[in-house]
Amino acid sequence: MNSNTSTRHKPKAQRPDNKQFICMKWGSLYGPEYVNRLYAMVRRHTSGAIRFVCLTDDASGIRPEVECHPCPEIAIPAPHNTRGWRKLTTFAGSDKLFGFSGHWLFLDLDVVILQPLDDFFTYLPEKNFIVMRNWTQPGKNIGNTSVYRFRIGAEAYLLEQLQNDHASVLAQCRNSQTYVSRNVHALTFWPDSWCVLFKTHCVPAWPLRFWQQPSAPQDARVVAFPGVPNPHEAMDGIWPAKGWKKIYKFIRPAPWISAAWEHAEDAILPVKEN
């Protein structure tokens, strides 16, 4: 095993007052700067003690406050095993997930956090699984797994069913969040205003987007960026598109993204002595 993929930090003891966060980074789509920015935003917008874990195949460049562990593999055929389906490994039992326990908040690397996160841990604490609504499929009762809270081991059946009957599951569900939403024992959504999509809620309607900048709703706590543009692209007003799609896939720069990153980084910088 590559030294960059082994557990980099000794697992921290579970504290009852810890707010626990987890993310995943594999492959080359996102560099360590995305993990570091996410940690900074979480730290800035969360009160009290936190535990922040990254499951990754390469821990190099990730700040030392982040507890890194190898990214679990999922026993389904390629290329599905390196896509969003891999998130389902977070549903494994504690014995297969580095001894983790309790509730955790999963965050995709490409979310931008704008407001406090404490309520994500106190909202309906009896629920084992809460997820943001998938706003690209309104009315279909599908979640978007960019932001979800889960209890370790409570939904292990989802992972087991997928791995044991992957041919049937993959034939019926085009992506992991559809599978989870249709098969989880109890599907609960965050309050609608908490989690929004950049392309759905922030980008002005056409043709207003040609002269108006994207803006986040006032009450949004987390902005998710599934697909493209990624935050670093949206920040600069870039929406990758080909051919005629460039006509409507146009955005102006969104400076509030870089502001969210910079303010978070500044908030956790050590105080320099004179």
Q: Report the CATH number at residue 168.
A: 3.90.550.10
- The answer to whether position 170 is within a domain reads yes
| Predicted structure pTM score | 0.93
Q: Which amino acid is at 107?
A: L
- Measured CA to CA, the distance from residue 173 to residue 178 in angstroms comes to 6
Indicate whether 110 and 24 sit together in one domain.
Answer: yes
Indicate whether 185 and 201 sit together in one domain.
Answer: no
- Measured CA to CA, the distance from residue 181 to residue 74 in angstroms comes to 19
Indicate whether 27 and 62 sit together in one domain.
Answer: yes
Indicate whether 124 and 237 sit together in one domain.
Answer: no
pLDDT reading at 147 higher than 60: yes
- The answer to whether position 274 is within a domain reads no
Indicate whether 140 and 12 sit together in one domain.
Answer: yes
Average pLDDT over residues 96-103: 97
- Measured CA to CA, the distance from residue 108 to residue 60 in angstroms comes to 19
Indicate whether 203 and 183 sit together in one domain.
Answer: no
Q: Using the 8-state DSSP alphabet, how is residue 23 labeled?
A: E
User: Range of 76's domain?
Assistant: 3-189
Indicate whether 123 and 181 sit together in one domain.
Answer: yes
Please tell me the predicted confidence (pLDDT) of residue 18: 87
Indicate whether 10 and 118 sit together in one domain.
Answer: yes
Among 189, 208, 242, the domain-final residue is 189
Please tell me the predicted confidence (pLDDT) of residue 1: 38
Domain count, the chain: 2
- The answer to whether position 273 is within a domain reads no
Q: Which of 114, 74, 99, 78 is nearest to 20 (CA)?
A: 99
Please tell me the predicted confidence (pLDDT) of residue 246: 87
Among 136, 169, 189, the domain-final residue is 189
Among 189, 224, 250, the domain-final residue is 189
Average pLDDT, the chain: 93
pLDDT reading at 2 higher than 50: no
Length of the chain: 274
pLDDT confidence of 271, banded at 50, 70, 90? very low
Indicate whether 12 and 138 sit together in one domain.
Answer: yes
pLDDT (tens digit, 9 = 90+) per residue, 65-85? Answer: 999 999 999 999 999 999 999
Burial of 178 by CB count in 10 Å (0-12 exposed, 13-18 middle, 19+ buried)? middle
DSSP state letters, 63-121:
-TTSEEEEPPP--S-TTGGGSGGGGGGGGS-GGGTTT--SEEEEE-TT-EE-S--THHH
Indicate whether 38 and 112 sit together in one domain.
Answer: yes
Indicate whether 162 and 212 sit together in one domain.
Answer: no
Burial of 269 by CB count in 10 Å (0-12 exposed, 13-18 middle, 19+ buried)? exposed
- Measured CA to CA, the distance from residue 230 to residue 240 in angstroms comes to 9
Rg (the chain; Cα; Å)? 19
Indicate whether 176 and 208 sit together in one domain.
Answer: no
Contact in structure between 37 and 264 (CB atoms under 8 Å): yes
Of 1-10, 98-107, 111-120, the range with the lowest mean pLDDT is 1-10
Please tell me the predicted confidence (pLDDT) of residue 16: 59
